[in-house]
Amino acid sequence: MPNHVCTELVPIFNHLDHESLVKISGITRHRNFRRGETVFSPDRQSGLIIISRGRVKVYQLSGSGKEQLLRVLESGDFFGAESLFGSENPAGFGEALSALEVCTIGREDFMNLLAQYPSISIKLLEEYNRRLVAADRLITSTATESVASRLAGYLLDLMKVAESNEVTLPLPMKELAAFLGTAPETLSRKIGKFEEEGLLERNGKRIRILQPDTLNDIE
């Protein structure tokens, strides 16, 4: 994948013209990871990381060593801007969920970009505001909504990202259940119930959403 295509994927850069994107591509570096490899950790951060291809599980560890899933990064997502401003990595760990290709930009190079293209700072603030809103919505839904409602919302979010009614569950059932705040057995039953009701069809991790409007109305 050409480097400028990598920068076109991420929302903090994709508003720039082609010439600027090609210029930024000159300071990006490509890295590849195998499934299960650690992409970043509290003691290993390589600047701004842009996901070119594949998925990354972002999680932190509790005091007892239990994983707490925070989000899944997809193609076009980025991570690590906090460390560029001197903050510690707040999430902790990133693990490749599949064959993974990323682009990275070091701190000094990124700071030079902010000075040269002030609009990147605005886009960065917009993106982090979007993430805060999404995190707040997840916390609220976990506390107030039923498992069926949380599952329906999650599937609809996947559909929006994929721009298709056919989606792939990015996580094993155990981790997806933890993310949605329920037990794996409960989650399996809810998916099975949705299938029985004709709301979706499932084949392994592949799900075809048949009635998105009905899913949207689930409380």
Arithmetic mean of pLDDT over the chain: 83
Helix (H) or strand (E) holding 166: strand 166-168
Q: Domain spans of the chain?
A: 3-138, 146-216
The runs of H, that is alpha helices, within the chain are 3-9, 18-25, 81-84, 107-116, 119-144, 147-162, 173-180, 184-196, 212-216
> To which H or E segment does residue 85 belong?
none
End-to-end CA distance of the chain: 43
**CATH class for the region spanning 3-138:** mainly beta
Residue recorded with tokens 């929006």? 160
Fold match between domain 3-138 and domain 146-216 = no
Confidence grade of residue 33 (pLDDT, cut at 50, 70, 90): very high
d(CA 208, CA 109): 42
pLDDT-derived band of residue 2, with 50, 70 and 90 as boundaries?
Answer: low
The per-residue pLDDT for 170 is 82
Q: Residue 173 has what pLDDT?
A: 87
- The reply to whether the predicted model has a pTM over 0.85 is no
| pLDDT tens readout for residues 172-184 | 888 888 888 888 9
Q: What is the mean pLDDT of residues 81-101?
A: 76
pLDDT (tens digit, 9 = 90+) per residue, 186-213?
A: 999 999 999 999 999 999 889 999 999 9
The CB density around residue 157, as the number of other CB atoms within 10 Å, is: 13
Residue 4 has pLDDT above 70, yes or no: no
Q: Residue 63 in contact with residue 181, Cβ under 8 Å? A: no
C-beta separation of 34 from 94 below 8 A = no
Give the phi and the psi of residue 129 in degrees, each rounded to 5: -65, -40
CATH annotation of 146-216 = 1.10.10.10
